[in-house]
Structure 1
Amino acid sequence: MKFAKIAQKLSLWAGLPRTFLGAIALIILWGLSGPIFHFNDTWQLIINTSTTIITFLMVFLIQNTQNRDTDILHLKIDELLRVTKEAQNAMLGLESLDLKQLEELRKKYRHLGEGETIALDGTVVPETKKQDE
């Protein structure tokens, strides 16, 4: 749980405009220090190593944030499915299906929606009505 809290705070901090501006400022300072260090290999190694480490750590931070957001979204959708009388409660357990089963289900729902179009006012327009117009 500590990691989740730290990751959440870090992801919020990393997304701030001032953090981005700070990163730009550091890159400008590094660039301006080039003539002082005669653009040597160590000078280049500092930025390469720094950006590699930051990128490596950010991958885990972004993945944690994405997993958390996905879990929250799934829970919200599950709740909407649960309280909707016409919804199929079987949809609440889709996480246990393999890719082949999910593709079959996707084809079924795609087929169900093929004959219908949604009008701009949100009403369903059957395909036959569309052709008559």
Structure 2
Amino acid sequence: MKFAKIAQKLALWAGSPKTFMSALILIFLWGLSGPIFHFNDTWQLVINTSTTIITFLMVFLIQNTQNRDTDILHLKVDELLRVTKEAQQAMLGLEALDLKQLEALRRHYRAMGENQVFDLDGLNPTHNPKPHLDQC
């Protein structure tokens, strides 16, 4: 639980404009320091090692945050499905389906909406044959 809170705060911090600008400034300063260190191997190793470590840690941080956000979205959609009378309650258990079953379900829903076109002025669905994509 503590990790989730720390990861969320770090993700917010890492994604902030101030952090981005700080990173740009550090890279700029590192680049300016090249002539002082004669662009030697140690000078290059500093930036390579630093960016590798930061990238390695950020992968786990981003994955944790993404997993949390995905779980939250799933719960919200599940609640919407639960309270919508016309919704198919079977949709609440999609996580248990394998890839082939999900693909078949996707094709089924794509076929259901294939002939639906929206009137963008009134946002009213109208039944039309497939539009020709070469016409504007």
Fold conserved between structures, TM > 0.5: yes
Match of 1:42 in 2: 42
Q: Structure 1: which 5+ runs fail to align?
A: none
Aligned length: 129
Per the TM alignment, residue 122 of structure 1 is displaced from its structure 2 partner at its CA by: 2.5
Amino acid at match of 1:59: V
- AA matched with 1:61: L
The code of the aligned residue for 1:15 comes to: G
User: Which residue matches 2:25?
Assistant: 25
After TM superposition, the structure 1 = structure 2 runs for residues 79-118 of structure 1, keeping only pairs within 5 Å, are 79-118=79-118
Identity across matched positions, percent? 76
Residue identity in the other structure for 2:126: V
Q: 1:116: Cα distance to partner?
A: 1.9
Report the 3-state secondary structure (helix = DSSP H, G, I; strand = E; otherwise coil) of the residue aligned with 1:125: strand
Question: Residue 134 of structure 2 corresponds to which residue in structure 1?
Answer: none
Q: Which TM-score applies when normalising by structure 1?
A: 0.91
The code of the aligned residue for 1:125 comes to T
Give distance in 2, aligned partners of 1:97 and 1:18.
Answer: 43
Could you say which residue in structure 2 is the equivalent of 1:127?
128
Rounded to whole Å, the distance in 1 between the matches of 2:79 and 2:119 is 27
TM-score, scaled to structure 2: 0.89
What's the offset of the Cα at 1:118? 2.2
Q: How far off its partner does 1:53 sit?
A: 0.7
The structure where helix makes up a greater share of residues is 1
| Displacement of 1:15 | 0.9
Mapped to 2, the partners of 1:56 and 1:109 lie a distance apart of 39
Query: Deviation per CA, 1:83-102, whole angstroms, max 9, x where unpaired?
Result: 11000010011011000000
Matching residue's letter, 1:122? L
Moved >2 Å (runs of 4+): none
Shift of 1:127: 2.4
Counterparts of 1:18 and 1:7, CA distance in 2:
18
Mapping 1:51-66, distance limit 5 Å? 51-66=51-66
Moved more, 53-62 or 118-127: 118-127
Report how far residue 123 of structure 1 moved.
1.9
Distance 1:63 1:95 in 2: 19
Q: Deviations over 1:6-34 (max 9, x none)?
A: 11000000011110111111111111211
